[in-house]
Structure 1
Amino acid sequence: MTLKMNPEVFKYQSLAEADSFRLLLLQPSPSHDSDLQCHVLHATLSQCDRDIIDQYTALSYVWGDPSNTGSIYVDGSRVIITATLDAALRDLRDESRVIRIWADALCIDQSNLTERAAQVSLMDQIYSIAHHTVIHLGPLTPAAETILKAAPSNTSGVIHESHDIVKIAQENMLQAVWFTRVWVFQELVLSRDPWVQCGNLRARWADICNMLISPSWKQSSKELQVLADMNSSRGSTRLQFLTLLTSRRGLGATDARDMIYANMGIAFDLHSLLDYVQVDYRKTCEELYESVARYLMENIGPEGPTIFFPHAASNDQSKQKGLASWAPDWSLPASNLVEMYKDNNLRKLQLDSKAHYAFIGHPLTLAWVGYKIDVVESFSVELPNAEALDVGAREEYQKAMKTLMGMYLNVWWSGDDSGQHQHVDLRGKEEEHEKLCRVLGGEWLRIMGEELSASQIFSQEDLENQKKFEEGFRTWLEARAPQHIIMAGSGSEGMASLMYAYLQPRNIPSALTGRRLATTRNGRVAVVPRNVQMGDKIVHLAGPLISLVFRRDSRPREENLETDIKNALRAIDEDYKNQTDHRLDEMEKVDEMEVEYCTLVGECYVDGEVGWKLNQEWDLKIYALR
């Protein structure tokens, strides 16, 4: 939002020093309803840090609806501000004394993108140097008054205890929009002495937390857990940038770029982050998110991509139309998908991702060496949380499962270079085992057929896809029944393990929930993202432990992009030639590899598939991703 100011009447003066900022000298008034008046003071953070007399208070508040406005006279000029800022300043205004206030909407020239970026970069110092921070939550309601007056530090001077204070807080004050905004976390964490204010009554943040937060790690409600998490971050060591992003993603921000900028100042890895990202409001959101993605990809360790790719799982809902498919949209909430299943096979190459990919061009293209595993032939409807399927009522299935578990009591282990595996001796019980496996398969066919199809309204295309999937799924289940596969318990692996866990009565979170099952061109079954399409390729990239689903990208591209991609990968290979244990020898022949242009759809697991097995040949390609 940009404040409405008449440039002929009010004009910001340039800030002279690198640490210059503005303060409001809020003029006193005995009347709450009289016009707000202030003067603008230019100061520097270094001066304020040394000043023991004229200290300032930082204001933390929610900008609110831009169409709901108030006003303030700044150096005699009337300025339109949001109603929330108007209310906060009125509640802070003293009857007889001038107060020094820092409020972002007025103290930063929001129309000057260069200044705005510079001031946002100083926000950590602005809040940490402020003598106090006032968190203004809104008007003084009866519930807010009950909570604040129970705090020893409340400004009324009278303490009133309440036995229902926790319940009142979680149903009222902790529902305030302030707790859902992205900027407030930095403002709180960096503040030396935060106070919570409603109307003209306030109390120290620490007192509020002491009253409401349980000593146990787990709180009794979502609202209390948010409060506890915010409070535990105060005074602690700074968190990694990725941790901050994942914990705060999807929170309210008027400008989606602030999902990044609001977390930079409190990240312990800020120094390395600044090599990739600087606060710059001239950059588009897409450019910013892609720069962040590049930083995370290159700086979060050897398993970076394995940790990184799940964060893009919500991108099918993204409103950032030009955003690369591999760059997470941090303005969206997390997908809350359970981590994708990984096999425990050790007999495979341990490849370093960084030796096999490069970022090229503008807009950024991510080029990565890998090979195709399979192609999606058909897919099911999206699998719901298993709670919706009334798992406990499936008597025949549960009885068969119990009998199978009895058969698997006498298992034995074998271990080799590929990992550890359980085996079971079914001699004399082969027919019974096959019959029980068919019971399990029949239950899954009912679920994937009539039950899910009838559970909600699907398009004709979805139903046709589902019908085709059921045919391939039935063939796969029938082929598995005679095999001596451990179908239940901790000894099960692959799809058997995933299907067993999904229909457990204990309702354990499952990697199948929120995803689809698919059949592949080679007759296998896979777990795929919800936005999969027929013909999507399943690929293993060099390094990541998880296979990925890609979709061909036929959009126009830069004329020399393929040449640039191969040049970049050749340059990367020069840096990694000595790391032969973690690099593909074929990287020396990168000029001979075909370049295939794709977009990332999401993570995948193909039953029985182990990527990069030793003593195996691959048809390597360069996958150029946007």
Structure 2
Amino acid sequence: MASGIAPNSFKYGSLTEPDSFRLILLQPSSSHGTALQCTLLHTTLSQCDRDIIDHYTALSYVWGDPTKTGSIYVDGHKFTITATLEAALRDLRDPSRVLRIWADALCIDQSNMTERSSQVALMAQIYSIAHHTVIHLGSLTENYEMILRAASSNTTGVVSNLVHTDNLASLAANGLLRLPWFGRVWIFQELVLSRDPWVQCGNLRARWTDICNILVPAGVVSNPTGRPKELQVLADMNSARVGGRQRMIVLLTARRGLGATDPRDFIFAHMFLAADTDTVIRYVKVDYTKTCAEVFEDAARFLLEEVGPGGHVKFFPHAIRDQTSKIEGLASWAPDWSLPYAGLVPMYCENLTRRLRLNPGLHYDFVSRPLVLAHVGYEVDVVTDFSFVLPDPSEFDMAARKRYQEAADDLETLYGAGAWWSGDEHGQHRHIDVRGKEARHEELCLKLADEWLHVLSGDLLSTQNELLEDEVETHKRFLPRFRLWLEDRAKKGLIMVGSDSDGMESLMWSYMRLADYPAVLTGRRLTITKSGRAAVVPRQVRSEDMVVFLAGSLVSLILRPSPEIPSEDLKREIRSALKAKAAIKTDSWSQDRLNCDMENLPIQRCSLIGECHLEGEIGWKYGEERGNIYTIFALR
């Protein structure tokens, strides 16, 4: 919610009750151009909820460009408002009756951070208690009028059937549904909680439900092929109104990157819609005196601790950023929900090996301010040279991919009956029998290697924009090391292609084959680590970044060491917090805790860069003791 623009001549009265709020009493006028006049009524939500005579209407609109302004007289004082609010109030004003209406910019003292925080916390109730909500989209055009007049509830009282429903849907997808209102954060709460929402353009309005029944009729399968995304957004919004509530992480994931003048509103606008609101509010308070970084970090703490089984694997991908965050001081582990999703395929995770099922909550804690995530884990390798970012493989030379596919097909023919399985105390293992065919197998594997080197040496360079000199040099250093790695793998008799392949071989085959499936490698880089192993790493990686497994996470992470030495105060806080975690009682037979003295482990300051897959490295293997190398990573 953006700050309002009000002159000093007007002073708001205090809101004295926990559920106090203000309503605009908009004075009538028969002339659309007459100056807007209103008084402010102080009341409470409980009084309005019990009132069966005087109801109020909530207004949902977009603030728009703050440099474009209008005005209204509030209790005789001229008050500057946005042009969009002025237009909405003029269109809503009745010729003869006073209209009781709630509009955030006028009903909340935007200059009072304490009031603003408390009123935003009440907004869910404000919209749910209002008897009607008017969604004001702006002025009326010919196309918008055709859509609204097709609804039986339109305020002219005359239904127009001159345009076929399919044509109306096309008109809406290319116009009405592209208006800014559909891309703002707050509107979701305002819509979902409203009893009776109406869509208005100019002075014409119709019920939301009727509009949806025309444009996205019930019974149509969700996201059918060919449906414009604008219509799918409308269908999803309408489903959210009539369906059950969703968890906070689902809401944030589905709507990340939408417009909000104040990024804090991305959290505040969703927290009272969530199925787990009662838990969210234990971590996050609507408080505009907090910085955006503090609000996002509090939300991240909630998500990591409450997201449930597989927390790390579900949580950390949301923190990956394709763009630099504009939120000053935001921790590397906190998702920036104001940025669009990075669009990466979930990182590969080997699931055949028996592993320790550690409880991550027993091995980390949040300490200090600004928040530090102190997490026990261990380092397994270090990044050295790496490739350019891998694009969608469709950008590569098709001839090279066809040659790769031919060699892959020949290999699958060579494998014949496919893989066979064995198992032991460590898990399950796949094997292939190439006895007597070793030379042919190596020959075909080297063909795969040649095509990889072809695209990395030539095609990949043509897909890159604005390369830095350092990036070019590290790619050049990476190539000969990658060649040696490929040649070595060709000699090992591994399953190199097909659905039976594992790890790096599976990822490389999935990326290069002639199939239009999203690939894990797209948008990431390849590296050869200090130990000589190949890995898939995030695009933001740098030389000397660490490959790390945190307790409870089955996917390795890239952490960047900080030159900053942890202060003694921070060390004491971390050790005290982890000592308390060690004192938590668990079942004696469970294997959810590491057998180590956590409070006395070395502490290293780092930042989170992203997820990784390192060839041959399986974290937390059952029976593998690493007690001498555990570290507390203090992530900021």
TM-score range, shorter-chain basis? over 0.9
* Structural mapping, 1:251-400, within 5 Å: 251-314=258-321, 317-391=324-398, 394-400=401-407
Give the equivalent residue in structure 2 for 1:35: 35
2:529 is the counterpart of 1:516 = no
1:506 equivalent among 515, 518, 521: 515
Contact 2:376–2:550 (CA under 8 A) maintained in structure 1? yes
Equivalent pair of 2:360/2:551 in contact (CA under 8 Å): yes
Aligned to 1:182: 185
Corresponding residue for residue 414 of structure 1: 421
Amino acid at match of 1:190: L
Q: Does 1:534 align with 2:535?
A: no
Please say if residues 351 and 581 of structure 1, whose CA atoms lie closer than 8 Å, have aligned partners that are also in contact: no
In the alignment, the residues of structure 1 paired with residue 588 and residue 520 of structure 2 have an alpha-carbon distance, to the nearest angstrom, of 35
- Is 1:620 matched with 2:622? no
Alpha-carbon contact 1:595-1:623 (below 8 Å) kept: yes
In the alignment, the residues of structure 1 paired with residue 584 and residue 520 of structure 2 have an alpha-carbon distance, to the nearest angstrom, of 37
SS in 2 for 1:226: helix
Q: 1:544 to 1:105 in 2, by over 3 A?
A: same
C-alpha distance in structure 1 between counterparts of 2:579 and 2:615, whole Å: 34
Deviation at 1:559, TM superposition (A): 3.7
> Post-superposition shift, 1:393?
6.2
Match of 1:217 among 219, 222, 226: 222
Deviation at 1:419, TM superposition (A): 3.9
Q: 1:242 aligns with which of 215, 229, 249?
A: 249
Q: Structure 2 matches for 1:537-576, cutoff 5 A?
A: 537-555=546-564, 558-576=567-585
Q: Deviations over 1:394-437 (max 9, x none)?
A: 33222111111222340243242444443222122221111111
Partner of 1:140: 140
CA distance in 2, matches of 1:29, 1:297: 54
CA deviation digits over 1:328-364, x for unaligned, max 9? 1111111111100000133221111011111111111
Q: Matched residue of 1:506: which SS?
A: coil
The Cα of 1:585 is off from its aligned counterpart by 4.3
Q: Which structure 2 residues correspond to residues 584-623 of structure 1 after superposition, within 5 A?
A: 584-587=593-596, 589-618=597-626, 619-623=629-633
Spell out, residue by residue over 1:56-89, the C-alpha distance to the aligned partner (whole angstroms, 9 max, x if none): 1100000000000000011111100001101111
CA contact (8 A) 2:355 2:619 kept: yes
Helix, strand or coil at the partner of 1:86: helix
Amino acid at match of 2:289: R
The percentage of aligned residue pairs carrying the same residue is: 54
The offset of 1:270, in angstroms, is 1.1
Deviations 1:105-155 (A, max 9, x none): 000111111111111111111101111101011110111011111111111
| Contact 2:134-2:200 at 8 Å conserved across structures | yes
- Say which SS state the counterpart of residue 384 (structure 2) adopts: strand
Aligned AA for 1:434? E
Count of paired positions: 624
Residue 592 of structure 1 deviates from its aligned partner by: 3.5
Tell me the distance in 1 between the aligned counterparts of 2:350 and 2:131. 54
Which of 164, 170, 175 is matched with 2:173 structurally? 170
SS at match of 2:510: helix
From 420, 442, 459, give the equivalent of 2:450: 442
Provide the C-alpha distance between the structure 1 equivalents of 2:524 and 2:588, rounded to a whole number of angstroms.
37
Structure 1 residue 127 corresponds to structure 2 residue 116: no
What secondary structure is seen at the aligned counterpart in 1 of 2:339? coil
Instruction: Indicate conservation of the 8 Å contact 1:21/1:45, yes or no.
Output: yes
Whichever residue aligns with residue 320 of structure 1, its letter is I
Deviates more, 1:174-183 or 1:208-217: 208-217
Structure 2 CA distance for aligned equivalents of residues 591 and 290 of structure 1: 24
In structure 2, runs of 5+ residues without a counterpart are: none
Alignment-mate amino acid for residue 551 of structure 1: R
Which 4+ runs in 1 deviate beyond 6 A?
none
For residue 205 of structure 1, what is the aligned residue in structure 2? 208
Residue matched to 1:478: 487
Q: Provide the C-alpha distance between the structure 1 equivalents of 2:301 and 2:281, rounded to a whole number of angstroms.
A: 12
Q: CA RMSD in A?
A: 1.5
Q: How far apart are the structure 1 equivalents of 2:195 and 2:221?
A: 25
Secondary structure of 1:206's counterpart equals: helix
Deviation at 1:579, TM superposition (A): 5.3
CA change 1:96–1:84 in 2 (3 A) is: same
**Residue by residue, what CA displacement relative to the aligned partner does 1:419-478 show, whole Å, maximum 9, x if unpaired?**
444322212222111111111111001111111113234221111010111111101000
Partner of 2:153: 153
CA distance in 2, matches of 1:391, 1:233: 43
Instruction: Tell me which amino acid in the other structure corresponds to 1:3.
Output: G
**Between 408-417 and 227-236, the greater mean CA deviation after superposition:** 408-417
For residues 570 and 372 of structure 2, the distance between their equivalents in structure 1, rounded to whole angstroms, comes to: 9
Q: Judging changes above 3 Å, is the alpha-carbon distance between structure 1 residues 469 and 579 closer, same or farther for their aligned structure 2 residues?
A: farther
The answer (yes or no) to whether the contact 1:24–1:101 under 8 Å persists in 2 is yes
SS in 2 for 1:465: helix
Mapped partners of 2:3, 2:248: distance in 1: 28
Q: How high is the TM-score relative to the length of structure 2? A: 0.96
Specify the SS of the correspondent of 1:582. coil
CA deviation profile, 1:201-257 (whole Å, cap 9, x unmatched): 111111111111151111401101111110000132211111111111111111110
Structure 1 gaps of 5+ residues are: none
* Structure 2 residue matching 1:372: 3-state secondary structure: strand
Contact 1:315–1:325 (CA under 8 A) maintained in structure 2:
no
Distance 2:212 2:427 in 1: 49
8 Å CA contact 1:421–1:491 kept in 2: the answer is no
For residue 386 of structure 1, report the CA deviation from its aligned partner: 1.4
The corresponding residue for 2:432 is 424
- Other structure's SS at 2:241 match: coil
TM-score normalised by structure 1 residue count: 0.97
SS at match of 2:382: strand
Once the two structures are TM-superposed, the CA of residue 315 in structure 1 deviates from its matched residue by 6.9
8 Å CA contact 1:411–1:422 kept in 2: the answer is: no
* Alpha-carbon distance in structure 1 between the residues aligned to 2:140 and 2:403: 59
- Rounded to whole Å, the distance in 2 between the matches of 1:247 and 1:555 is 36
Give me the whole-angstrom Cα distance separating, in 1, the residues matched to 2:548 and 2:591.
Answer: 19
Q: Which moved more, 1:499-508 or 1:85-94?
A: 499-508
In structure 2, the residue corresponding to 1:38 is in which secondary structure? strand
Distance 1:139 1:50, change over 3 A: same
2: CA distance, partners of 1:228 / 1:27: 36
Q: Shift of residue 556 of structure 1?
A: 6.2
More off after superposition, 546-555 vs 74-83: 546-555
Secondary structure of 1:234's partner?
helix
Say whether the 8 Å CA contact 2:397–2:459 is kept in structure 1. no
Residue of structure 2 in register with 1:463 after alignment: 472
Q: Secondary structure at the match of 1:359?
A: strand
| Counterpart position of 1:22 | 22
Letter in 2 for 1:573: A
Segment of structure 1 superposing worse, 444-453 or 211-220: 211-220
